[in-house]
Amino acid sequence: MRRLLRRKVEDVRYVHMITGSIGKTAILARNDQLEDARFKLFQPIAFMLASPIESRSVENFTDYLAEEKFDGMRCQIHVKGDEVRIFSRDMNEITHSFPEIVTFFADREMPGIVLDGEICVFTDNTIMPFQHLQKRMGLKKPSKKILEEHPTILISYDVLFFDGDPVFEQTLLERRDLLSKLSEEHNFPLTTQHLINHEDEIEILFDQALAHGNEGLMLKHKHSTYEYGQRRKSWLKVKKPGGSIDTIMMYAHAGSGKRGGTYSDFTLGVSVRDDERYEEEFIPIGKAYGGYTDEELKKLNSRIKKITAEKYGPTLGLYPDIVVELEFDDIQVNKRTKANYTLRFPRFKAIRWDLSPDDVDTLKDVERLYEEKLNQERLKQSSNPSFEFK
């Protein structure tokens, strides 16, 4: 019975992957029709995910291939002849935002194919910072100026479907061999992959990725299939934080599940006390709900009770008191926020009980960090390229 139940769970996970819809999967499961599910071209497949390398123990790094983790946007492209559709990681269609990529692949006269890859802004033989790509995201019809100033390419690193058949049950080595042949025949860019002969090589490749302006490395197990639904050891990401700032805790939000009854989600802010553009003392810059221990969370909740200023249902407004060093991957422009910026993947680095609200970083500090990243000199792709045309 247990084996039958486990098989049923695996079937549901597989059907969810190929339909891209939990609703469709639920209907098929309810009607006992999971076996009827079929992959359809131009219907996005759920994406495979990676685990942080520090969260998994690796016995033998020679079982993995390394490639650079680009500073772009993950996507899936479906192509057949001159029909091209592009889907984002949340499986929304974004085809109209990238007409030059559509034209590029439509001109290749390819058979039915699905590629997994990354969209990047690429100028002067250099992958540009993610902030450049932000100017292209969400545009239904980019202007001629935008297309000229922020041209994009799609760099492929996996193939999921080819000429009528899904290939995600094949191993990474098998899929990579197919992808390389397709790239050579149709002349589209794909990642440069590296064999790992010794663990020390990872640091060398990691430094090279950062010099290119990329986020870090992806390590992919040679014999892994294209998995969905769980973060395992098949794909590992090697990254370092983009930076950290000292922030003030402004709001505490009640948790759910095992954290029910405690405040475990927090809105953090930066100082605008001396900023002529604002009347407030602090404005939000991001939300975080991880990076602290259970003991620290207990201490936070004890302190929060003493500094609560207002209550809005499950949310508490706090007097300025608790300073948190917030670590993040990047800074993004976000015009929908009061700060006009937001932090990408913020998390607690340390609770700074030793600091006061007077020590909190300012919005101008955030703006300076953003400009430094935007203007960072990047190694051109002519030097140890992270992708190539076959």
Active-site amino acid positions: 69
User: Which residues lie across from 236 on neighbouring strands?
Assistant: 51, 219
Question: Could you tell me the two tokens for 278?
Answer: 């604002």
* Residues forming beta bridges with residue 121, ordered by sequence position: 152
> What is the C-alpha separation between 245 and 355, in angstroms, rounded?
13
Distance (Å, whole) CA 261 – CA 316: 13
CB 348 within 8 A of CB 276: no
**Cα 94 to Cα 189: distance, rounded to the nearest angstrom:** 20
φ and ψ of 348, to 5 deg:
-65, 130
Residue whose tokens read 């057949």 = 80
Instruction: Extract the runs of DSSP E, i.e. beta strands, from 54-213.
Output: 64-69, 73-81, 83-88, 110-123, 126-127, 152-162, 165-166, 189-191, 194-195
Contact 100, 108 (CB under 8 A): no
The type of residue at 197 is N
Dist CA 332 CA 130 (whole Å) = 8
Amino acid of residue 111: P
